[in-house]
Amino acid sequence: MSEHAQHATVLLKEAVDALRVKPEGIYVDATFGRGGHSREILRRLGPQGRLIAFDRDPQAIEVARMIVDPRFTVLHAGFSQLKDRLRHEQVDKVDGVLLDLGVSSPQLDDAARGFSFRMDGPLDMRMDTTRGRTAADWLAEVDQRELTEVIADYGEERFAKQVARAIVAARARGPIDSTRKLAAIVAEAVPTREPGQDPATRTFQAIRIFINQELEELSLVLPQCVELLAPGGRLVVISFHSLEDRIVKRFLKREARPDALLPKLPLRADQLPKPRLALVGKPMRPSAQEIDANPRARSAVMRVAERTPWGLAA
């Protein structure tokens, strides 16, 4: 069975439905992963349509290059480069952008990537294995204060101080270069944990988010999406944890209600800033049936917004 067949794409139909794919439209799948959403978008596009996919992961790029379709382009880049890379593709407006955030099942299930504490492997955690520091490299040199802040802020770990202290003490005895070593250190440092959750869950999440600058990438791409969308174009974002969803929720709310930022200024209605986005429907979560089939879908939440005519560059 191929790798993409093993990967269950979360909210597949719902996300592509939300894009309202026009046969002749131009769309961006900013997180190709294993291509579930991209293949469905291509299925709905006409001969004149176009799909441009992005991914940082070289393995995802290999899968994407197996799609032989003149309407399809794949770019090995993080989505924070969205606007610049589309300019090189001579694209200045698109009809929809899809962001499916987080880590894919193939990444989690490959021990060599170092994302999961459930299998022993090298402590890498990079989305793009061709560049940047590994988690092991960073843990070898980060000071205890910064480590505490990362684990607390990105992992929302209430025992961040204890975990950071234990990591610093352990690395003095030898390198922390495998997932199993790190998981064991965290397990000893965390005195209690929610039922059904491994003690290492929050620490692994925090380090992964930091190493890949995931929240910074998200904050950079959202304004670019608004600038790139043509009037009536849709932005669809699927988040998998509260930190991501909080950034998306606040951004969409700010773009949909810019007048809320100026509640006390004496302005007439025609002087108020016009919203660049309109929220579409309520946040959507996977059905119970989808969660039963794919438990990793349980934390997903999808938000959708549509570009208004306001604030377009002349």
CA distance 292 to 48: 38
Do residues 104 and 33 make contact, with C-beta atoms less than 8 angstroms apart? yes
**Average pLDDT, rounded, for the chain:** 91
Residue 5: what pLDDT? 42
120, pLDDT greater than 70: yes
279, pLDDT greater than 70: yes
pLDDT tens for 103-113 read: 887 888 889 89
Mean predicted confidence (pLDDT) in 258-285: 74
Which percentage of the chain shows pLDDT scores above 70? Answer: 92
Nearest to 297 by CA among 53, 3, 15, 29: 15
- pTM for this model (two decimals): 0.90
Q: Which secondary structure element, helix H or strand E, spans residue 278, and what is its range? A: strand 277-279
Residue 295: what pLDDT? 87
3, pLDDT greater than 50: no
SS3 state of residue 245 = helix
Mean predicted confidence (pLDDT) in 235-259: 93
* Residue that wins the pLDDT comparison between 268 and 141: 141
Residue 195: what pLDDT? 74
CA distance 256 to 88: 30
CA–CA distances in Å: residue 45 to residues 65, 186, 231, 313: 19, 48, 19, 27
Residue 105: what pLDDT? 79
- Is 72 annotated as belonging to a binding site? no
Do residues 176 and 123 make contact, with C-beta atoms less than 8 angstroms apart? yes
Q: Which secondary structure element, helix H or strand E, spans residue 161, and what is its range? A: helix 160-171
SS3 state of residue 176 = coil
- Is 144 annotated as belonging to a binding site? no
pLDDT tens for 141-174 read: 999 999 999 999 999 999 999 999 999 999 999 9
pLDDT category, 314, cuts 50, 70, 90?
very low
Who contacts 288 (Cβ-Cβ below 8 Å, separation ≥6)?
none
Nearest to 252 by CA among 289, 277, 225: 277
Residue 48: what pLDDT? 96
- Is 36 annotated as belonging to a binding site? yes
pLDDT tens for 214-225 read: 999 999 999 999
Tokens of 288: 């119970």
268, pLDDT greater than 60: no
pLDDT category, 2, cuts 50, 70, 90?
very low
Nearest to 205 by CA among 87, 78, 116: 116
Nearest to 169 by CA among 147, 150, 197, 191: 147
9, pLDDT greater than 50: yes
- Beta strand 50-55 with 72-76: parallel, antiparallel or unpaired? parallel
Q: Which secondary structure element, helix H or strand E, spans residue 232, and what is its range? A: strand 229-239
Mean predicted confidence (pLDDT) in 198-208: 94
288, pLDDT greater than 60: yes
Residue at 203: amino acid letter:
T
Sheet holding 277-279, edge to edge: 72-76, 50-55, 26-29, 94-100, 229-239, 301-307, 277-279
In sign, the C-alpha dihedral spanning 105, 106, 107, 110 is positive
Residue 262: what pLDDT? 54
- Is 48 annotated as belonging to a binding site? no
282, pLDDT greater than 80: yes
Mean predicted confidence (pLDDT) in 224-245: 96
CA–CA distances in Å: residue 176 to residues 119, 170, 183, 269: 15, 8, 10, 59
Do residues 9 and 33 make contact, with C-beta atoms less than 8 angstroms apart? yes
- Is 35 annotated as belonging to a binding site? yes
Residue 274: what pLDDT? 84
Domains of the chain with CATH codes: 3-106+214-307 (3.40.50.150), 129-211 (1.10.150.170)
Beta strands in the chain (DSSP E): 26-29, 50-55, 72-76, 94-100, 229-239, 277-279, 301-307
pLDDT category, 4, cuts 50, 70, 90?
very low
CA–CA distances in Å: residue 72 to residues 37, 53, 229: 13, 8, 19
- Beta strand 26-29 with 50-55: parallel, antiparallel or unpaired? parallel
